[in-house]
Amino acid sequence: MYIADQTWPELRESLADESVALVPLGSTEQHGPHLPLATDHLIAEALATAAAEETGAVRTPTVTVGVSPHHRQFPGTMWVDAPEFRDYVESFTRHLTYHGIDRVVYVNAHGGNVQHLREVGRRLHEDGEAYAIEWMWDESIPDLVDDLFEHNGPHAGPKETAMITHIAPELVRDGQFENARDDGLVDLESADTMVHGARTFYDSVDNSANGAFGDPTDVTPEKAERLFEAAADQLVQLTEWLRARDSEELLPKDRVE
């Protein structure tokens, strides 16, 4: 159920029996020459929508701008500072509890958000306000991602290309696939910015001139559908697992005596 499409009398009834909310979060940032800046938040929203429709959980509006300063050199990239991002997400999550929601899945599709969402979840858990967990779609199906693509790349590679191919194929510039591969960085481990075990880079452009990592040329609609359906199924299972938990299980444990 998408909460913003409902009226308040409708929500008065439906929220009375629901404890779980799915909050999609992504970014608005460069994704190479072949994918739109909306890539991350489109993926998060599509997965959250699919899981909400399957489980009946509440889906909130999407957070479309995340923590992305490491992509700032590419035109159009937007970002918010990390403390403000954390405070914003924490604030609206606390206010969800006012309506009876006490379990939240941050349906995340942007790596730059991960540590900050986990920190917000820790804060909420620590004071017993809510149980909120961060879920990153590709981390839920790592074996499948590795099986489907030889050179995944952490950003704007085949896995994200496949997801947008399934969700919004009209936004994919497939004529730029070879350019994304050849002028980007296919294998991050081969980058010369790792020196004696230290990461000497801070920004995406330090490693990839066009912002792409990996090889998107072997993406097909069939692989794209398989990837999306597998990730959506993992989110459905997580939502149902969370809903089935007794509230006492989710509260912080007492001090060990």
The answer to the question of residue 257 being in a domain is no
The answer to the question of residue 186 being in a domain is yes
How many domains, in total, are found in the chain? 1
Judge whether residue 191 has pLDDT over 90: no
pLDDT in tens, 114-142: 999 999 999 999 999 999 999 999 999 99
Averaged pLDDT, 208-213: 95
Which residues form the domain of 206?
Answer: 3-248
The answer to the question of residue 255 being in a domain is no
The answer to the question of residue 13 being in a domain is yes
Sign of CA dihedral 244, 248, 253, 257: negative
Averaged pLDDT, 219-238: 98
DSSP 103-137: EEEEEE--GGGHHHHHHHHHHHHHTTS-EEEEEEG
The answer to the question of residue 254 being in a domain is no
Is 89 strand, coil or helix? helix
Q: What CATH number is associated with residue 18?
A: 3.40.50.10310
Percent of the chain with pLDDT over 70: 100
The answer to the question of residue 208 being in a domain is yes
The reported pLDDT for the residue numbered 94 is 95
pLDDT in tens, 80-101: 999 999 999 999 999 999 999 9
Specify the pTM.
Answer: 0.95
> d(Cα 257, Cα 252) in Å, to the nearest integer?
15
The answer to the question of residue 152 being in a domain is yes
pLDDT category, 192, cuts 50, 70, 90?
confident
The answer to the question of residue 126 being in a domain is yes
Burial annotation 125-144 (CB, 10 A radius, 16+ → b, else e): beeeebbbbbbbbbebbeeb
The reported pLDDT for the residue numbered 14 is 86
